Amino acid sequence: MYLGIDLGTSELKLVLLDRQHRLVASVGERLTVQRPAPLHSEQSPADWWDAMARAMARLQAGQAAALAQVRAIGLSGQMHGAVLMDAAGEVLRPAILWNDGRSGAECAELEAACPRLHAIAGNLAMPGFTAPKLLWVRRHEPEVFARTATVLLPKDWLRFMLTGERVGERSDAAGTLWLDVAERRWSAEVLAACGLTEAQMPRLVEGSEASGTLRPELAARWGLPAGVIVAGGGGDNAASAVGIGAVRPGEGFVSLGTSGVIFLTSDRFRPNPASAMHAFCHALPGTWHQMSVMLSAANGLSWVTRLVGAASEGALLEQVACLSPEQRERAPLFLPYLNGERTPHNNPHAQGSFFGLTNEHDAAALGWSVIEGVTFGLLDGWHALGVQPGEVAGLTLVGGGARSGLWAQLLADAIGVPMVTRHGGEAGGALGAARLAWLADGGTLDQVCPAPEIAATFSPDPAETARLAARHARFRALYRAVEGLFPVG
């Protein structure tokens, strides 16, 4: 039995996985975000540990026999967060999260202080990453910065509580900007630009390696055997990829969650920071991944559902499905940048807009425009990945938007590769964490990481791909036309 722990922003989730790939149990505990000032986003690590204790108590109440068979624990978690600890292991301030936007000025400072940043880290400096957060702390909370002995990412702080070890792993560390991503080791050069040293960083392991063992007192409290291994684990998207079997070059997924992600596994480091594409280590040795990220995906569908007063997102999509091809062709174009945009524009000031509204347009037309606009945003991200024809045979579709066959087909047509949905894909990072635990316990990649059974396949229609390409060209021209009109303040 293997225990997967996924520390998200809104929920801490635990799953138990057996060696027949059955999810024996799953429990979740809600988390909240604190926003003490504009652009600030924080959580107390103590709240994570309290949620962990509650979740384990629930598992123990219902699955005591299964917990007694656990051989290893894996970790997945929200990336980029900064947990600052002193020499005694005490947390110095609330964790600054991935969606915190306070460090814009520090990003420019880091780019200037480290001209080789893009070559080393493979990514632009953005407020979401960890390094600019520490520059902000150095400037605004110098007494906290001076006492900082160790900086841990969120899931790695959980590991510290579980094992007493200050250990990180490479897929998550790649999201700090302090990692030499090609060499898979800390960069003394980038750390020095932030006033830090490697001594303040955790020891690094691969996601499928053992990082320590569970503290004996916790094993006794939760009814686990002595000596349970804690695996390196992975950042949330890398762990999700392990969970759906996207572990070999050319395998990947599209996530239609609140935000949108295209994740593609690679056997080498392939950065493209000019297009705000992320290039990170995967959670497996000798493997990397590329990732395009848009900030509003399924969130756009939720927004337009409220806007038109539809009963639900599903009800609106039923109306959209009744549109004729001609009505879809005459629908407005929609720029989906309700929360700014990352890949490929790196423009926090970008905003959403409808273009081409007429009296004939109704709720269904606006619904189509939104899912088409989000799809075109993902297509821009796909192009930023630099994928060659024939390199990718298909992509797995995950996230809330994956429930819509209409949207799945639209994505397949636009991107030009098949989309598949899979049974059990909703387990996400927690399942990947459990699989990484299994690998750390001696399992092989073929044994541990098969792709879950396909639920449905959506193959591209070449005629639709060509039609959408013409609409996409207008979409891109629209962004260029209005880019200079977005308010900056």
Say whether 397 sits in a helix, a strand or coil. Answer: strand
What value does the mean pLDDT take over residues 122-127? Answer: 90
User: Using an 8 Å Cβ cutoff, are 300 and 317 in contact?
Assistant: no
What are φ and ψ of residue 397, in 5° steps?
A: -100, 125
What value does the mean pLDDT take over residues 339-356? Answer: 91
User: Using an 8 Å Cβ cutoff, are 145 and 195 in contact?
Assistant: yes
pLDDT interval class at 183 (50, 70, 90): very high
pLDDT interval class at 259 (50, 70, 90): confident
Measure Cα distances from 300 to 304, 310, 344, 371, 422 in Å. 6, 14, 18, 8, 24
Say whether 214 sits in a helix, a strand or coil. Answer: coil
- How is residue 341 annotated by DSSP? B
Q: Is the pLDDT of residue 39 over 70?
A: yes
User: Using an 8 Å Cβ cutoff, are 437 and 231 in contact?
Assistant: yes
Strand partners, 338: 340
Greater pLDDT, 273 or 120: 120
Residues identified as active-site: 236
- Strand-pair category, 203-205 with 167-169: parallel
> What pLDDT, in 10s, does the model give residues 368-395?
999 999 999 999 999 999 888 888 999 9
Q: Is the pLDDT of residue 59 over 70?
A: yes
Distance CA 270, CA 184 (A): 14
pLDDT interval class at 226 (50, 70, 90): very high
- How is residue 479 annotated by DSSP? H
pLDDT > 70: percent of the chain: 99
What is the torsional sign of CA 284, 282, 102, 192? Answer: positive
Residue of 453, 471, 408, 387 whose CA lies nearest to 256: 408
R_g of the chain computed on alpha carbons: 22
Distance CA 335, CA 367 (A): 13
Name the packing angle between helices 154-163 and 45-67 (round to 10°). 60
For residue 85, the number of C-alpha atoms closer than 13 Å in the C-beta half-sphere is 25
- Alpha-helical runs (H) found in 322-401: 325-329, 363-384
Whole-number average pLDDT of the chain:
95
What value does the mean pLDDT take over residues 67-84? Answer: 97
pLDDT at 272: 86
Number of neighbours of residue 220 by Cβ within 10 angstroms: 11
Model confidence, pTM? 0.89
pLDDT at 229: 98
Distance CA 63, CA 472 (A): 51
Q: How far apart are the first and last CA of the chain?
A: 53
> What pLDDT, in 10s, does the model give residues 394-410?
999 988 888 899 999 99
Q: Is the pLDDT of residue 220 over 80?
A: yes
Distance CA 289, CA 18 (A): 27
Chain Cα centroid distance, residue 132: 19
What value does the mean pLDDT take over residues 124-135? Answer: 94
Q: Is the pLDDT of residue 467 over 70?
A: yes
What value does the mean pLDDT take over residues 121-141? Answer: 95
Which H or E element spans position 315? helix 313-321
User: Using an 8 Å Cβ cutoff, are 129 and 97 in contact?
Assistant: no
Give the tokens for residue 436: 């990484």
pLDDT at 15: 96
pLDDT interval class at 489 (50, 70, 90): low
Which H or E element spans position 215? none
pLDDT at 426: 67
